[in-house]
Amino acid sequence: MPSESAPNAFHPVERPQHYAFGGIEAIEGIEASMSTEAYRGFCKGNVLKYVWRYESKNGLEDLEKAKWYLNQLIFALETDQEREALAAIENNVECTDGFCPMPGIRYDIPGKQVLFDPIEKA
């Protein structure tokens, strides 16, 4: 990893010099040029490529690259889940002031929180 004292330092896995041109990281340009689904596939493909070849090419460095792409894929999925959760809150009429009731809890009884089965509600 790049040292903390030099956050823009180049590193063969985290920030290769040959992937930073004109102030733009290649991965950022690639992500911007693709749909969300295509970018996930790109990351997944790179994870598989580096794991596939590590024994016959670059050993530990290839496993570190696979881990880097796996982390990118995980981050993309977490970001999408966060966006979906925020959208659900914004579009939920039961949510007020950022508070959304938990499923299975009755908030319509003053002073009481009674668990119930949402399926039986209908």
What is the per-residue pLDDT across 69-86, written as a single tens digit (0 to 9) for each? 999 999 999 998 888 877
Q: Looking at residues 41-64, what average pLDDT do you find?
A: 96
Task: Tell whether 69 is covered by a domain.
Answer: yes
- pLDDT surpasses 90 at 65: yes
Burial (CB count <10 Å: 0-12, 13-18, 19+), residue 15? middle
CA 63, chain centre distance (Å)? 20
Task: Tell whether 35 is covered by a domain.
Answer: yes
- pTM recorded for the entire structure: 0.60
| Total count of domains within the chain | 1
Element (H, E) at 20: strand 20-21
CA distances, 105 to each of 20, 92, 119 (Å): 52, 16, 13
DSSP secondary structure string for all residues of 53-114: HTTTTTTHHHHHHHHHHHHHHHHHHHHHHHHHHHHHHHH-TT-BTTB-PPTTB--SSTT---
Task: Tell whether 27 is covered by a domain.
Answer: yes
Task: Tell whether 31 is covered by a domain.
Answer: yes
Task: Tell whether 10 is covered by a domain.
Answer: no
Host domain of residue 30: 17-94
Task: Tell whether 120 is covered by a domain.
Answer: no
Q: Check residue 2 and give its pLDDT.
A: 40
